[in-house]
Structure formats: structure tokens, C-alpha cells
């Protein structure tokens, strides 16, 4: 029967229509699964599919929920993309069923106040959230039995708006939960799970959302419910906003509410064996675990209960800077914990001792870090240097009041970055060609990067140039938009060296160091045939006035005639801008005052993409630096040297390195126009850094050194 005859046959048409409709519904269902599993955020094929299905909404939002809506209304587009929808979908199914790569790991619950998975779920502020997001992605890739708990901030952190004077203003956008890839968690009756969190003379209710991060469910608590008191609805509104009162409420919801959410959602035999408190914000969790033991009669005193649960708990501290450690005054603690501490059988003074470093110091506030240290049998800093520094800072704080020196020693597990999230498309194609594809599944294995040593330098230069071009195109557009007339005509992708600097504008990070001697920087930039462009990005905390003035200083420099089109500030630093910057920069600059940078991860992302690292010997660089690969600032000294003279000496060292080593080598070209010596360094840098500073190496370390022994100790 011919097609026409088939169509003409009324019986066939009536049969075909439901079939067509079913096919359409199947495609939508597949697309929905692709949308609602955030694995798309590190799967280029799925991102390409979204882009191609709905170019306009995708470019505007980077959010597949918008893409899904637009595609659902256009059956023809859907049909056109049927093949790639089905391919991506079956690839996702296969991914979700991959065998686990790490055996005998107990079930882990990972608590953190922020997570950066994708820009369309803006519930993070910076480094801590990115690290937590990368932890989940790597745990998913490895097939670790890990679940995560956080908060659903309706207004997130803030969007940075730079005003006419270069000063940072903050804008807050309300997140519409219908428009992001999260879903309410439902109970057996199909109703949303709502949990009760104990507050003074009332109960705060929290609903639970779930975001799927590959194989890892991320549960997010949200107090914006009509049955809550008006001010309680705002508990989960802003990340790191508000005052101490808001902060303690958030931490009660995260720690106590978070555990109650797991109890409500998971069957008894699927509860976590080990709980990881990533930073002190979630440390009230330890109290709730102890309360459960007391309530069930498994322990008869708080001390006994606390020791019983200590093996379940791991704690990671993320900064040696005091402002990064929450501490609450005694009266605030009493206001919130009066009723609760009675369930723990503790007086107010006994309760305060859990959060005081020195039990004798009654003026000390209640520190969440100390609470975590008194609760968790395993604890670590996030680089080798930070482990040492943390041991000095917190070494005396043991598990119980009698436990001094502590049985639990401060350990060090260096951070890492999720390879597939941060590598640029051109570099990943280059890796496939030069290394084979094992680096994708096992980036932590050094052998998989070995062939970088023999990599084709022409191809490497081409990939680097393509990534640099993408960054410069955006920088140019931004500089036009700002009325600065775009990049200087000398600054072309084939020629220019891009020096990138993007991070939180806290003063200890010294964003202004490269501007210490502006005339010298002007001379270096204005080299005619050797163009240098410096690109800055970063937010200051809304209440960090010195940080905001630093932003202003950089923005004003970018508007200065001498730096026009050669020094640019990209506003609203976020995950998407970070990707652009770490992929396109040639040199990544990091200038903290040692030893205040616990680890830093943006440099790891940049070196993965073939940037060379120019950094103070602080954080991860203190253990990673080797002569001949990147450049070291400072002499690895900290402490008493810190001060203006020290800053001036390091500013000079920075400019000397740029003038006498970095620029000459980058602009030394062979007959093909490639900087051969430079590319040798780049290849060696990637080969050495990519495996060691991958999130997969980091998560394996947590599994081997923390989770597995903790699980064994809990079971014993
Ligand atoms: C990686 C990243 C960070 C953390 O990098 P640092 O080196 O610690 O500054 C912060 N913010 C964003 C958006 C990032 O992608």
C-alpha cells in the first residue's frame, strides 16, 4: 500500500493519530527526564540538544525547563530532534545504571549550606558551594551511595550590579520553583513531605524539594509555607543574608530539620550510616543525632549519646579566616535552645561548653566549628597546608571535655574540581584526540594524562586559541555594553595574552596587587605587538565594605583612559562566567595573603584548561607548584611578615615575573606562530595537575579515609 493510500484510508488515519500522539508523549517524557536530572550540566551532548531545540530560551536562561516548555508546544521541532532526544535519554539511563567504581562504601549523607550545580539553580555564593556541587557530581560518577542535604533559598545570594561610580549594588531575584529542575518530595500518599523543626514556643514547618544530580539526590528544605509565621517563611530566603538571628534559624533548619527530613523521606533500612558536615553550618545535626539516642533509650546521658554518634560524623573546615566561622552569643543560644537542651539533659552552661574552645572562657561565643569538632570523630582541612594550619588553630579541641589532647587528629584532604564540568569543549576534543577517552571516566588516574607530554603542539595552540577567542568575544561585548568601546584593537585572540583573576573580593585576596604600580602595568600592556589583557570578576559580600571598595577600584581602573580595552571587569561572577574565564585565560592569577586561602579551586579549573598558574604559595598551590610549570609568588612565608611592606615586595615580584618571564615566553613564537616553550609548560602543567586536583581523586580519598572507616566503626 502506498503512503497516499494509507493516509486516505480512514481506518489507518484513526490508528496513526494515537500512535503519533504516543510517540510525542514518549519524547516529552524522555525530555522531561533529561531536564529534571541535572546531569545535563556536565553532559555536553544534552546541553547541545537543549540549545538546538530552543536556541533563544536556552541562550537567555541556560535552563532546560524553559527549553522543555517551548519544545512541548512545538511538535515539529520535537519530531525533528527525536533521534537525539532518544540517544541522550538512553545515555542517561545507562549512566544511572553504571556499576559503582568504589565498593563497600557505607551510605553517606552530605550536609552543606550551599550547592552550585548549575546556574539555573542559584543556591550558592562561591567556592564552598562549587566544591560541594563538584563533590556530588564526582560521587555520582563514581556511583557512591551518597545523598545530600541543603536549603532552598528563594532569593539565593545576589546579582551584582555595578553603578555609575563603580560601586557594587545587590539585586535579588525570586526563584520560581516551577521553573527550575527541582520537584517536591512526596510521601506514600502522594502529598508533599513537610517536616517539623522545633523552635521556641512554636514549630517551624519545612517542605522538601529534590534536585537530581546524576545518581545523587539533593534534598532542599524550604520554610516558605503559609502555615509558618511570616518571619519564619523568610528563614530560607537569602543565602548568607540577614543577621545572626537569621543565621541561627537557618542552621537549625539545615542541621536538625535536615536530619528529620532524611528520617521522613527514607525507609529505616536506607538511612545514612555516615554524615559529612561540610563546614560548620550544619553542626546542629550532631545534637539531633544525640537527641535521638536519648529519646530511644540507647544512651542515658548526653555525653554518652554524643560519643556513640561521633563515629558517624565527619567534618570538613574550609577557612582559617575568623569571619568564616559562625559564632553565636550566649543569649541567642539560650533563646533558641532553652527547650531543646532540656531534651538533651543539659544546662545552659553545659550546652555552651559544646561550642566553646576554652571551657573556662565564659565570655566565648558558641562556635559552630567547635561544636562540629566536639562531635565528629573525623575532621580535615582542604589542602595539606590548610590541614597544618587547622591543626594549629583547632588541635586542642577534642571529642569530649576530657579528651585533650584529642583522639581525633586534624587530617588534610585537598580539594579537587569536577573535570567534565570545567573543561572547555575545544580542550576536551583535544584530550580525546591526544589521550584517548579514559580521562573522561577516570580523570584521577595519572596514566590517562601521560600522553600530554607528546601532544601535538599545533593542535594544543588551536584549542587554546578557540577558548581564548570565546572569552574575548564576551569581554568585548561586555566592554561595549558598558560604553567602554570594546577591547583595544591590539587585543586579538591569536595574539593577546589573557591574565584572569576571578574570586570573592575579600581583602586578604588582594585583587589590587597587580595595580600597585599602575604605570608599570600600562607599559606592559601597551607593548604593541605583545598585547596583554587583564580580566577581573568577583563579588564582595554585601556587608564587606572594604571588599566593595576594592571592586570599585578595579571598575574605576577599567574606565581609566590608560587601561581602556585592556583591563576589564566582568560583572556578576557566577558559574557560567567562571567557566568562560577559566577556559579562556592563559595565566590564572591568585594573590592571597598566605596562609589565608584554605585551598582555592579556580586555579585547578584553569590549569585543567591549559592556563598556567601564577600564584602565592598558598592553599593547593603550596603543594602543587613545581618550577617550570607555573609561577610562585612569595617565599612560602606567612605570619609575621604580613603587612604593607610584604604586599609591596610581592607586588614587585608579580610585575617582575610578568615582565621578565611570562610575557617574553608567551610571545616567543616559532615559524608556525606557536609559542613552543610555553606550550611545553602547558602540556606538563595539564599532565601534572588534571589528575591530582580532580574531584574524583578527592571523593575517592574521602571514601577511603573517612567514609569507609567510619562505616566500619559504626557497624562494630
Ligand atoms: C570555582 C569558583 C569559586 C572558587 O574559586 P576560588 O579559587 O576559591 O576563588 C568561586 N566562585 C565561582 C563562581 C567558582 O566557579
The CATH number covering residue 607 comes to: 3.40.50.2000
Angle at 115 between CA 601 and CA 47, to 5 degrees: 85
Same domain as 49, residue 140: no
CA of 148 to the centre of ligand 1 (A): 21
* CA 692 to ligand 1 centroid distance, Å: 18
Model's pTM, two decimal places? Answer: 0.96
Is 422 within a domain?
no
Residues whose CB is less than 8 angstroms from the CB of residue 303 and which lie 6 or more positions away in sequence, other chains included: 400
Let me know whether 192 and 237 are in one domain.
yes
Q: Is 570 in the pocket of ligand 1 (CB under 6 A)?
A: no
Please indicate, yes or no, whether residues 230 and 315 belong to a single structural domain of this protein: yes
Same domain, 564 and 459: yes
Residue 133 near ligand 1, beta carbon < 6 Å: no
Q: What pLDDT, in 10s, does the model give residues 292-310? A: 999 999 999 999 999 999 9
Do 333 and 470 have their domain in common? no
Give the pLDDT score at 641: 56
Query: Which atom of ligand 1 lies nearest, measured to the CA of 601?
Result: 7
- Backbone phi, then psi, for 33, in 5-degree steps? -65, -40
CA distances from 348 to 233, 247, 295, 337, 378 (A): 28, 20, 20, 8, 27
pLDDT score recorded for residue 646: 86
Is 192 strand, coil or helix?
A: strand
87 and 114 share a domain? no
For residue 599, give the ligand 1 atom closest to its CA.
8
Question: Rounded distance, CA 149 to CA 278, Å?
Answer: 10
Are residues 446 and 395 both part of a single domain? no
Residue 430: inside a domain: no
Q: How far is CA 368 from CA 236, 247, 333, in A?
A: 19, 11, 11
Model pLDDT, residue 602: 98
Ligand 1 pocket residue status of 258, Cβ below 6 Å: no
* Amino acid 630: pLDDT: 96
Where a domain ends, among 96, 131, 160?
96
In a domain, 457, yes or no: yes
For the CA of 504, the closest atom of ligand 1 is 9
Q: What is the DSSP pairing of strand 631-633 with strand 612-616?
A: parallel
* Judgement on whether residues 504 and 622 belong to the same structural domain of the protein: yes
Say yes or no: CB of residue 574 within 6 Å of ligand 1. yes
Residue-number span of the structural domain to which 402 is assigned: 108-415+699-715
Domain boundary among 42, 61, 96: 96
The reply to whether 448 falls in a domain is yes
Q: How far is the CA of 60 from the centre of ligand 1 (A)?
A: 23
Inside any domain, residue 103? no
Which of 502, 540, 591, 614 to mutate for ligand 1's pocket (most ligand atoms within 8 Å of CB)? 502
Question: Residues 18, 40: one domain?
Answer: yes
Q: Is residue 434 part of a domain?
A: no
Nearest atom within ligand 1 for CA of residue 125: 11
The answer to whether the beta carbons of residues 259 and 288 sit under 8 Å apart is: yes
Number of continuous H segments (helices) and E segments (strands) in the chain: 31, 20
Question: What's the gap in Å between 421 CA and the centre of ligand 1?
Answer: 13
CB 488 within 8 A of CB 564: yes
573 CA to middle of ligand 1, Å?
Answer: 9
Residue 675 to residues 550, 607, 631, 669, Cα–Cα distance (Å)? 34, 17, 17, 4
Kind and range of the H or E element at 153? none
- 3-class DSSP state for residue 234? coil
Whether residue 597 sits in one domain with residue 463: yes
Q: How far is the CA of 306 from the centre of ligand 1 (A)?
A: 35
Ligand 1 pocket check: which of 602, 605, 615, 619 to mutate, most ligand atoms within 8 Å of Cβ?
602
Interatomic CA distance for residues 413 and 312, integer angstroms: 18
Query: What pLDDT is recorded for position 716?
Result: 82
**Which of 578, 584, 607 for mutating ligand 1's site (highest number of atoms within 8 Å of CB)?**
578
Nearest residue to 185 via CA among 215, 206, 208, 205 = 208
Do 595 and 621 contact (CB within 8 A), yes or no? no
Is 433 contained in some domain?
A: no
Residue nearest to atom 12 of ligand 1 (CA): 126
63 lies in a domain? yes
Which segments in the chain show pLDDT lower than 50? 1-13
Give the closest residue (by CA) to ligand 1 atom 3.
127
Contacts of 370 (CB under 8 A, 6+ apart): 354, 355, 356, 357, 394, 397
CB atoms within 10 A of CB 224: 18
185 lines ligand 1 (CB under 6 A): no
- The alpha carbon of 390 and the centre of ligand 1 are apart by a number of angstroms equal to 21
**Minimum-distance ligand 1 atom for the alpha carbon of 604:** 7
Q: At what angle do helices 10-36 and 82-96 cross, to 10 degrees?
A: 50
Instruction: Please state the separation of Cα 54 from the chain's center in Å.
Output: 27
In sequence order, the 6+-apart residues with CB closer than 8 A to the CB of 10 are none
Q: Is the CB of 152 under 6 A from ligand 1?
A: no
Asked if residue 122 has its Cβ within 6 Å of ligand 1, the reply is no
Closest CA to 570 of 120, 160, 171: 160
Of 73, 96, 119, the domain-final residue = 96
500 lines ligand 1 (CB under 6 A): no
Say if CB 433 and CB 616 are below 8 A apart.
Answer: no
580 alpha carbon to ligand 1 midpoint, in Å? 12
When divided into structural domains, the chain yields a total of 3
State if residue 575 touches ligand 1 by the CB under 6 angstroms criterion.
Answer: yes
Ligand 1, closest atom to CA 127?
4
Distance CA 610, CA 528 (A): 25
pLDDT at 6: 45
Both 473 and 511 in a single domain? yes
Residue 503 CA, ligand 1 centroid: distance in Å: 6
Residue 159's DSSP bridge partners are: 171
Residues 147 and 56 grouped into a single domain: no
Amino acid at each position: 500500500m502506498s503512503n497516499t493510500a494509507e493516509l486516505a484510508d480512514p481506518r489507518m488515519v484513526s490508528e496513526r493519530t494515537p500512535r503519533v500522539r504516543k510517540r510525542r508523549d514518549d519524547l516529552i517524557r524522555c525530555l522531561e527526564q533529561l531536564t529534571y536530572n541535572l546531569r545535563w550540566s556536565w553532559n555536553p551532548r544534552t546541553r547541545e540538544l537543549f540549545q538546538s531545540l530552543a536556541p533563544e530560551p536556552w541562550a537567555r536562561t541556560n535552563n532546560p525547563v524553559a527549553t522543555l516548555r517551548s519544545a512541548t508546544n512545538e511538535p515539529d521541532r520535537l519530531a525533528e530532534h527525536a533521534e537525539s532526544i532518544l540517544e541522550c535519554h538512553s545515555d542517561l539511563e545507562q549512566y544511572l545504571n553504571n556499576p559503582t567504581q568504589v565498593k563497600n562504601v557505607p551510605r553517606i549523607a552530605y550536609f552543606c549550606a550551599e550547592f552550585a550545580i548549575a546556574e539555573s539553580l542559584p543556591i550558592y555564593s562561591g567556592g564552598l558551594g562549587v566544591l560541594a556541587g563538584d563533590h556530588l557530581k564526582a560521587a555520582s560518577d563514581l556511583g557512591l551511595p551518597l545523598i545530600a542535604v541543603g536549603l532552598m533559598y528563594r532569593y539565593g545570594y545576589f546579582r551584582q550590579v555595578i553603578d555609575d561610580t563603580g560601586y557594587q549594588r545587590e539585586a535579588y531575584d525570586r526563584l520560581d520553583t516551577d521553573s527550575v529542575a527541582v520537584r517536591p518530595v512526596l510521601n506514600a500518599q502522594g502529598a508533599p513531605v513537610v517536616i517539623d523543626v522545633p523552635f521556641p514556643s512554636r514549630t517551624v514547618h519545612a517542605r522538601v524539594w529534590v534536585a537530581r544530580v546524576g545518581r545523587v539526590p539533593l534534598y532542599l528544605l524550604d520554610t516558605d509555607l503559609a502555615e509558618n509565621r511570616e518571619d519564619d517563611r523568610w528563614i530560607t530566603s537569602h543565602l548568607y543574608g540577614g543577621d545572626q538571628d537569621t543565621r541561627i534559624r537557618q542552621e537549625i533548619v539545615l542541621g536538625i530539620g535536615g536530619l528529620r527530613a532524611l528520617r521522613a523521606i527514607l525507609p529505616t533500612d536506607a538511612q545514612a550510616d555516615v554524615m559529612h558536615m561540610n563546614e560548620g553550618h550544619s553542626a546542629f545535626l550532631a545534637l539531633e543525632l544525640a537527641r535521638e539516642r536519648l529519646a530511644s533509650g540507647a544512651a542515658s546521658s548526653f555525653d554518652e549519646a554524643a560519643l556513640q554518634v561521633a563515629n558517624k560524623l565527619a567534618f570538613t573546615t574550609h577557612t582559617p579566616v575568623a569571619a568564616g566561622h559562625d559564632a553565636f552569643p550566649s543569649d541567642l543560644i539560650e533563646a533558641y535552645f532553652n527547650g531543646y537542651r532540656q531534651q538533651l539533659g543539659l544546662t545552659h552552661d553545659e550546652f555552651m561548653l559544646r561550642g566553646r574552645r576554652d571551657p573556662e572562657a565564659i565570655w566565648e561565643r558558641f562556635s559552630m566549628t567547635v561544636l562540629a569538632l566536639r562531635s565528629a570523630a573525623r575532621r580535615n582541612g582542604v589542602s595539606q597546608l590548610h590541614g597544618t594550619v587547622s591543626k594549629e588553630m583547632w588541635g586542642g579541641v577534642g571529642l569530649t571535655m576530657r579528651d585533650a589532647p584529642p583522639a581525633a587528629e586534624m587530617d588534610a584532604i585537598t580539594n579537587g574540581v569536577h573535570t567534565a564540568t570545567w573543561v572547555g569543549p575545544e580542550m576536551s576534543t583535544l584530550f580525546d584526540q591526544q589521550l584517548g577517552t579514559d580521562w573522561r571516566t577516570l580523570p584521577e588516574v595519572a596514566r590517562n594524562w601521560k600522553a600530554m607530554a607528546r601532544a601535538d603542539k599545533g593542535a594544543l595552540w588551536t584549542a587554546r586559541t578557540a577558548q581564548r577567542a570565546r572569552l574575548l568575544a564576551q569581554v568585548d561585548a561586555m566592554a561595549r555594553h558598558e560604553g567602554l568601546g570594546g577591547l583595544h584593537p591590539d587585543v586579538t585572540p591569536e595574539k593577546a595574552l589573557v591574565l584572569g583573576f576571578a574570586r570573592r573580593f575579600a581583602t586578604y585576596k588582594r585583587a589590587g596587587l597587580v595595580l600597585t604600580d599602575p604605570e608599570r602595568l600600562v607599559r606592559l600592556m601597551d607593548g604593541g605587538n605583545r598585547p596583554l589583557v587583564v580580566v577581573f570578576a568577583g563579588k564582595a559580600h554585601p556587608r564587606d565594605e572594604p571588599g566593595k571598595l576594592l571592586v570599585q577600584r578595579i571598575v574605576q581602573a577599567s574606565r581609566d583612559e590608560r587601561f581602556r580595552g585592556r583591563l576589564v571587569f566582568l560583572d556578576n561572577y557566577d558559574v557560567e562566567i567562571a567557566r568562560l574565564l577559566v577556559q579562556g585565560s592563559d595565566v590564572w592569577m591568585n594573590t592571597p595573603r598566605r596562609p589565608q586561602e584554605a585551598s582555592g579551586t579556580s586555579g585547578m579549573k584553569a590549569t585543567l584548561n591549559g592556563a598556567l598558574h601564577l600564584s602565592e604559595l598558598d592553599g593547593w598551590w603550596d603543594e602543587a607548584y613545581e618550577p617550570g610549570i607555573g609561577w610562585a609568588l612569595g617565599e612560602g612565608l606567612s605570619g609575621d611578615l604580613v603587612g604593607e611592606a610584604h604586599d609591596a615586595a610581592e607586588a614587585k615580584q608579580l610585575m617582575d615575573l610578568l615582565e621578565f618571564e611570562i610575557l617574553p615566553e608567551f610571545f616567543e613564537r616559532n615559524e608556525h606562530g606557536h609559542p613552543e616553550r610555553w606550550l611545553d609548560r602547558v602540556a606538563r602543567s595539564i599532565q601534572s595537575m588534571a589528575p591530582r586536583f580532580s574531584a574524583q581523586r578527592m571523593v575517592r580519598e574521602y571514601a577511603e579515609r573517612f567514609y569507609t572507616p567510619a562505616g566500619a566503626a559504626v557497624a562494630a
